[in-house]
Structure 1
């Protein structure tokens, strides 16, 4: 597999996977660091890179202590049957329905279905706390057969990797790119060639940015915080002046400049936000907005580049109307400015790989369950190390302190190394001592340069062929407030060790 974008919100993040065929990388080859440019996507083998975005917000605590996956009896049931019949609101398994009295079990199942089933497929279930029939939504499509029948071992391992990759201690919703290889389904996880801005803001409690919501009544003008649409993401040099538009001249070049971009339909407006997440009128990330420039109703914006990434939103001046935009960026002043970035260009920070099997009831360090009286048992435990004895993580060699990062990434109580979702095993790849690497390859060969770790080992020497490699937009996005030395990403592997 090679890449899909998903969201990490339940202690998980948005991530992406790549679907690629298996490749060969000679251990110890000099200069084997991943290429972070947009170029070099090799489609000569017939494989395609594309993308899928999902939410990463599953908290580590919910992942490691819930009445489904940490319950050996429920774990066995889920691993051996189809999700739709097992959780059917009327005829589903009564024991599993009892376990859904644990809200963390509900969250776990939401992410399991999101990882396993494709977009558009759902699993209906009855909430035992409210007697309401609800649905879990598919997204990544890593194991479609699980909807109606038992998953294969490969399916279970791949979905386990997905679940682990999408967890974080704080439940902070972060967009990420997940990459890997599947020789039997080479287009299962493809990279997006053009990437849309993120619509959910972790600083707003993982809520959707209000400006992306539909207006409840007709509103006019650029200051409103509803009825906006995400366009695309761009890159620039911090401190640089950037100009873009949808048919207007930049406001500082009314007499000398040329019109930038175009629009059709209704009169259209623009808003530019710093980073990759959309913004509202009063947000600190709002870099500029326009409902017309140079005595015209054609929109254009001049702004100063902030973080190095920016994203654009558009909206009709009259929220009851519809229109379309073609945003164009002035590039004559700096070749470093680009727009409509690919997934690979946006998600450049290689984090590490995740692999193993959550669905092995004999490899649980504890158990959590709802008893016949409805009492939740085992929820407040503190388990040293990993609750899942067959789940593992390795870190990219680009980190300054891989061990510290890994602990904060996979443990609910990182300071004590307790309630972890996996066992951190060290460097995924060690360039100065390849034999110490936990993975045989630091880049699958079908699409060179995307940096997916392949053929990874656990401490017992067992080989896992379904790792998922995570790439982030910013190093500390998943761990705000973590010690500074735990999330320093150097951006190059060759100087390490």
Structure 2
């Protein structure tokens, strides 16, 4: 299951590589300042900056009464008018509303939504379903399986910098295996890398613009792989544009078509310095498009297609050369770096290490940093191929990783140790559950201080090893020497 995820930022600085102003400045160093966690009261927390630890400190999941209500009631009964008075009060916290956006997108399916009406203003906010882990939660009280797998989904979508990073989420659904099915062809991401901004090229056009240089009305075709620094040619009916020799590559049908090629797994706009690699409205004196480019250092490229004249209907079937180039890659081939697994439950009010309150319209946050996990029954294990799995996982789930504080989960250990697969050397019973063979999901995972087995973990895969933690500026956090781990 591919998820173009915007991660929560559990840290206090501006969103998305500090492109937006935060409350107290920017930069990873601010993550390490416990003084920033002195008691704070604020009538407003910036709702779209993710600068106030929306996962670990919000007035819904981090409040015992609200947490209990969430875990035992249908969502519509709590949020739809007239709504539950406690929930309405807690939703004065912008971070609580943000938390609900992620909860609904994990739990409910495409086409489902949940609308909340602000009783003080009459304004509405609608949260959209996406992944469909337990769509029945909208109208029925959730099962424990639902709560655990939604908790795992929420944790998988968390990281310290609030970056939008493309993820592949894998697991075993108790009733619907297709929830965690993998795409057979991976389209390019439609967002600016590491940004919440959708590329202009994927937005609808106004009027009827023409040509390959326009930045609207495009669609993503697929992702390909190639040998870095080698020459690649691809076409949708056109021949090699540099030599005009050899057979035409691919075909076009219907309206005249255009092509654009971008570096990596993201789409791009016209002429952007990176990741734009080239585009074509025709080649070799014909209207059939083809593009030649040098394979980028990362070894992946993305292709976009569009009709030459916006509004017309056509199809481009892209073919690549030489034969060593792989195109139309499946999800499993694009997202090959296994991070680890997330499991447990956020929805246990007695297992909260801190609480957030809303009093007289003001949000009351904890006075001091919380040592360890705010959610005492939420866990994370790490893949055995990380050089320093403990450090990687700690930086993945903790806002203050140097002191292992303000964490969203407890780091338990290596998910599966290839040399010693029994617990406690391995926290999970298998590294490939049987429901979707070959997808590499950890299953039947345990915590590190009891014999409880958690049956609904979510395993996360990323495209490149430093996609999530690269902004710490510590390469050792995302190196993978592929050494067999030793017995602890």
TM-score band w.r.t. shorter chain: 0.7 to 0.9
| 2:58 corresponding residue in structure 1 | 66
Matched, 1:238 2:228: yes
Task: Tell me the residue number matched to 1:7.
Answer: 4
**Equivalent in the alignment of 2:411:** 424
Give runs of aligned pairs for residues 448-487 of structure 1, distance below 5 A: 448-461=437-450, 462-482=452-472, 483-487=474-478
Q: By how many angstroms is 1:189 displaced?
A: 1.6
CA RMSD in angstroms comes to: 1.9
Alpha-carbon distance in 1 for matches of 2:266, 2:85 = 42
Check conservation: 1:349, 1:489, Cα contact below 8 A: no
CA shift, 1:381, in A, is 4.5
Check whether the contact 2:4–2:189 (CA below 8 A) recurs between aligned residues: no
Shift of 1:139: 1.1
Closer, same or farther: CA 224–160 of 1 in aligned 2, 3 Å = same
* Segment drifting more, 426-435 vs 112-121: 426-435
1:297 and 2:302 aligned: no
In the alignment, the residues of structure 1 paired with residue 349 and residue 412 of structure 2 have an alpha-carbon distance, to the nearest angstrom, of 22
How far apart are the structure 2 equivalents of 1:410 and 1:320?
45
Of 268, 273, 276, the residue aligned with 1:279 is 268
8 Å CA contact retained: 2:394, 2:411: yes
1:177 aligns with: 168
- Write the mapping of 1:312-391 to structure 2, written as runs, cut at 5 A: 312-330=303-321, 333-335=322-324, 337-371=325-359, 373-378=360-365, 381-391=368-378
Alpha-carbon distance between aligned partners in 2 of 1:485 and 1:59, rounded to the nearest angstrom: 26
**Mapped pair 1:263 → 2:255:** no
**1:398 equivalenced with 2:389 (yes/no):** no
The residue that corresponds to 1:18 in the other structure is: none
d(CA) in 1 for partners of 2:190, 2:459:
23
CA distance in 2, matches of 1:393, 1:68: 22
2 CA distance for matches of 1:434 and 1:58? Answer: 38
What does 1:410-421 align with in structure 2 at a 5 Å threshold?
410-421=397-408
Shift of 1:134: 2.3
8 Å CA contact 2:145, 2:174 repeated in 1: no
> Are 2:262 and 2:302, in contact at CA under 8 Å, matched by a contact in 1?
yes
Match of residue 135 from structure 1:
126
CA offset digits 1:366-413 (Å, max 9, x no partner): 000211x11111167421211000000000001011011111110122
Moved more, 353-362 or 413-422: 413-422
Does structure 2 retain, via aligned residues, the 8 Å contact 1:100–1:128? no
Give me the TM-score of the superposition, normalised by structure 2. Answer: 0.87
> Equivalent residue of 2:65, what SS?
helix
CA distance in 2, matches of 1:7, 1:99: 28
C-alpha contact 2:106 2:154 (8 A) present in aligned 1:
yes
Determine if contact 1:58/1:111 at 8 Å carries over to the other structure. Answer: no
- Distance in 1 (alpha carbons) for counterparts of 2:133 and 2:52: 21
SS of residue matched to 1:200: coil
1:442-486 C-alpha deviation (Å, 9 max, x unpaired): 222344432211111101221111111111111111123221101
* Cα distance, 1:420 vs structure 2: 0.6
Distance 1:296 1:415, change over 3 A: same
Q: Tell me if the contact between 2:167 and 2:462 (Cα under 8 Å) persists in the aligned partners.
A: yes
Residue 409 of structure 1 pairs with residue 396 of structure 2: yes
**Counterpart for residue 15 of structure 1:** none
Write the distance in 2 (CA, Å) between the matches of 1:109 and 1:404.
29
Q: Work out the CA distance in 1 between the residues paired with 2:254 and 2:367.
A: 57
Distance 2:440 2:394 in 1: 22
TM-aligned CA deviation for residue 288 of structure 1: 1.1
CA positional deviation for 1:201: 2.1
